[in-house]
Amino acid sequence: MERSLVLIKPDAMQRELAGTILSRFQQEGLRLAALKMLHIDRDLAERHYAVHAGKPFFNDLIKYITSTPVVAAVLEGEKAVERIRKIMGATDPARAEAGTIRKDFGLDIQQNAVHGSDSVETAEKEIKLYFAGDEIFDY
């Protein structure tokens, strides 16, 4: 059973889409193992997006993700990472397949409504950034 981190990003929060987006994952058989709303501070944002440090868009990315509260969730299921990536769609909403979250709700490549871990290894690291072990539930 794989787990993945999902973040409902500021643009989706501002448009009150958190419940709609989470329900898409649940409708596809992914189980909610953890959930919280938080305001990401600069330190957490820099650790989360460390792979992009030094890139031209890094500061804009940090400013964006810290602009409003987000919803962080841990979803689990068979091949969760792969399934979540498919449900989300391509990073650029203009290139995402019809019916995906980013195609339906994304505004542009940065304001694309949702983040999901890109690998099992990344998911393990990202989940630890946002959740303590006792905040993740088996039921």
Strand ranges in the chain using DSSP code E only, listed in sequence order = 2-8, 31-38, 70-77, 114-116
> Which pLDDT band holds residue 40 (cuts at 50, 70, 90)?
very high
> Which pLDDT band holds residue 51 (cuts at 50, 70, 90)?
very high
C-alpha distances (whole Å) from 47 to each of 64, 83, 85 are 15, 25, 21
Contact 126, 117 (CB under 8 A): yes
**Interval 16-24 mean pLDDT:** 98
Catalytic-residue membership of 115: yes
Catalytic residue among 39, 48, 52, 115: 115
Record the tokens describing residue 27, joined without a space. Answer: 């409708």
75-106 pLDDT per residue, tens:
999 999 999 999 999 999 999 999 999 999 99
This prediction's pTM: 0.95
Distance separating alpha carbons of residues 109 and 57, to the nearest angstrom: 11
> Which pLDDT band holds residue 49 (cuts at 50, 70, 90)?
very high
Distance separating alpha carbons of residues 67 and 40, to the nearest angstrom: 8
Fold of 2-135: Alpha-Beta Plaits (3.30.70)
